[in-house]
Amino acid sequence: MFDVFRFAWFAVRTFLGLIALVVTLYGALWLFVKIDSTLRGDADPDAALRRVKLYNTHPPAPWRSRLYAYAPKATP
């Protein structure tokens, strides 16, 4: 009977440990981004979004047209 409680306690500890790991990694990444963005004061915060929009406005290269021949067309 105590084996059930030991397994339950192990499951709870593991679950809480994984949550703590994810929260720690999220916080470390947030801190890294904050430090990096502070050090790069002249960086444009919307540069990545503009690159994606620019890439999506250009038609694909001729060699890529065969790759997208059977892909569903996106409606604007």
Residues of the chain under the 50 pLDDT cut: none
Q: What is the pLDDT of residue 40?
A: 75
Instruction: Give the C-alpha separation, 72 to 18, whole Å.
Output: 39
Instruction: Give the C-alpha separation, 9 to 65, whole Å.
Output: 56
The torsion defined by the Cα of 20, 22, 25 and 28, in degrees rounded to 10, comes to -70
Given a contact cutoff of 8 angstroms between Cβ atoms, the answer to whether 18 and 10 are in contact is no
The distance of Cα 28 from the centroid of its chain, to the nearest Å, equals 14
Q: What is the pLDDT of residue 16?
A: 97
Q: What is the pLDDT of residue 54?
A: 78
